[in-house]
Every structure is written in C-alpha cells, then in structure tokens.
Amino acid sequence: MKKPKFFTMPFASVYPLYIAKVERKGRKKDEVDEVIFWLTGYDSHSLQQQITNETSIEAFFTDAPQINPNASLITGVICGCRVEEIEDELMQKIRYLDKLVDELAKGKPLEKILRK
C-alpha cells in the first residue's frame, strides 16, 4: 500500500499551523509544545531538533521517545474519523495530536487535554 504523501512532509511545516490555530483562539505556543511533549515524550531541545532537521511527520512519530500510555484515552472525531477507531498506528498518532491541538483551540483546560 502506498503511504500518504502527508507522512513524508516535514513536521516543521505542520508545527507553525498548529501554533497559528491555537493563537487565533487566544492560546499560546507553549501550550502546543506541552501537548506535544505529553503525547510524544519529546522535550524542548529534542522537539527543536526535529523541527531544525525537517524530520518527516512519519519519522517524528516513529522516533518519538515515548508515546504517552494515556494516549488511548483520546477519543472523539477529527477530520470525520473517530480517533479511537483509526487502524493505521501512525495515522492514529497524527490524529491524536490533531485532536489535542483542536481541544486546545476550543478552550478546553490543559489538565483535561492532558487526560489528567
């Protein structure tokens, strides 16, 4: 099966879109970073490395230090799909991040977004 072209895009090209989305709604870049750290296990330094190196979205998630064990608690619809029903593991991780950023943009408290 051919991989979606999206998987090969640099994460660096999507990251500013996440930030722009939440900033339009009065949230901050730091909050986007926090949900990325929570989901992937990256820290500020390793996230910046991924951006600087223009790591593909696929590699960004494949090489993530630690996908949060509570990621499976992320449920709901994003782009018309229920995230908990997505079969492709990589696509599911991408949609998890999309969902978290979406919740941030909708004004949900960070504690709830991070499934605490």
CATH architecture for segment(s) 5-107 = Orthogonal Bundle (1.10)
d(CA 70, CA 50): 23
As a dihedral over the C-alpha atoms of residue 98, residue 93, residue 71, residue 15, rounded to 10 degrees, the angle is -40
Q: What is the pLDDT along the chain (116 residues), one digit of tens a residue?
A: 667 788 999 999 999 999 999 999 999 999 999 999 999 999 999 999 999 999 999 999 999 999 999 999 999 998 888 999 999 999 999 999 999 999 999 999 999 999 87
Residue 43 CB-half CA count within 13 A: 1
81: part of which helix (H) or strand (E)? strand 81-82
Domain ranges of the chain: 5-107
82: part of which helix (H) or strand (E)? strand 81-82
d(CA 56, CA 34): 20
Instruction: Judge if pTM exceeds 0.95.
Output: no
